[in-house]
Amino acid sequence: MSKSNKNRDRREHIEQMRRQAQASERRRTLAVVAACVVVALIIVGVAAYTILQDRQRKEALKGKSLSEIGADANGAGCTSIQEEPASGQGQHTTDKVDYKIQPPSYGAHNPSPAEAGIHLYSKDDRPEVERLVHNLEHGWTIVWYDDSIAAADAQMQVLEATAEKFDAQGNEPRYNMIIAPWTADDGSPIPDGKHVAFTHWSIHQPTYKPPTSNASPPSFGESLYCDRFSGDALDSFMKKYPYDDAPEGYLWHQGG
């Protein structure tokens, strides 16, 4: 075989090897692209399914009454209501307060309460605890939730659905309730290893009666601690301790 023929055969062999290598590389690329497409479709499918589930869960919650939202009262792992003699009525301060009961159910408080009309706060937008205690003095019920509840999507959906039900009632004082986070920066954890606390500042007067003197009536901090949120337990708690039943619950009857 001539030298030129050998060179030609060698070039053809090299070119064949190059084409085979290119074909193999294309197959690998197509396989990688196909695998990426499959993974992307799975991720999109899972995300879409999760969004659909969340939407269905939210729609289902909208159709429930307050007492049907969350766990029932017996299944929420609630304690009995804890009562403490209260103090701090009319005691205003702009300082941070170290409350005896945490989360607080009474005590000295900021001169300005949290604004009406907001029923759910997150860690990022919640007013100071001292402002919320002023709301307690005016007859509001506060639902405190800890970080473990904040991290649980299903529990937060329950709290959001509850707040929406109260939002729908406008400024009707019977629905004066705030859901707010209680964090490690605020003080000790919710007692008894629980994750939700209902608090109210009571004067043991469920029905409004005009004051007969300028003397402040005895008052009490009422606290109920639960493993998880229960609309059933909240409904019962607020019926037992309505907005009238507070050191300054009478404010809602002024001017009318």
- What confidence tens digit (pLDDT) does each residue in 239-251 have? 999 999 999 998 8
At 254, is the pLDDT very low, low, confident or very high (cuts 50, 70, 90)? confident
Name the average pLDDT for the chain: 87
Q: Are residues 148 and 106 in the same domain?
A: yes
Q: Which two tokens stand for residue 241?
A: 């301790």
- The three-state secondary structure class of 230 is strand
Q: Are residues 153 and 206 in the same domain?
A: yes
Q: Are residues 109 and 90 in the same domain?
A: yes
Q: Are residues 77 and 20 in the same domain?
A: no
* 131-179 confidence digits (pLDDT tens): 999 999 999 999 999 999 999 999 999 999 999 999 999 889 999 999 9
Domain boundaries, position 3: 1-62
Q: Are residues 122 and 84 in the same domain?
A: yes
In a domain, 225, yes or no: yes
Q: Are residues 120 and 210 in the same domain?
A: yes
Q: Are residues 144 and 197 in the same domain?
A: yes
Which of 33, 62, 91 delimits the end of a domain? 62
- d(CA 186, CA 183) in angstroms, rounded, equals 5
In a domain, 8, yes or no: yes
Q: Are residues 138 and 222 in the same domain?
A: yes
Domain count of the fold of the chain: 2
Q: Are residues 89 and 216 in the same domain?
A: yes
CA angle 19/22/26 to nearest 5° reads 140
Reported in sequence order, the residue ranges of the chain that DSSP labels E, i.e. its strands, are: 82-85, 141-145, 177-181, 196-202, 220-226
Q: CB within 8 A of 134, min separation 6: which ones?
A: 109, 110, 111, 112, 113, 114
* 43-89 confidence digits (pLDDT tens): 766 555 444 444 544 454 556 889 999 999 999 999 999 999 999 99
In a domain, 67, yes or no: no
Q: Are residues 174 and 214 in the same domain?
A: yes
In a domain, 192, yes or no: yes
In a domain, 143, yes or no: yes
Q: Are residues 113 and 58 in the same domain?
A: no
Which of 62, 88, 111 delimits the end of a domain? 62
Q: Are residues 116 and 54 in the same domain?
A: no
The Cβ of residue 33 has, within 10 Å, a number of other Cβ atoms equal to 10
Which of 12, 34, 62 delimits the end of a domain? 62
Query: Does residue 191 register a pLDDT over 70?
Result: yes
In a domain, 145, yes or no: yes
- The three-state secondary structure class of 2 is coil
Position 36 scores a pLDDT of 79
In a domain, 242, yes or no: yes
- d(CA 130, CA 136) in angstroms, rounded, equals 10
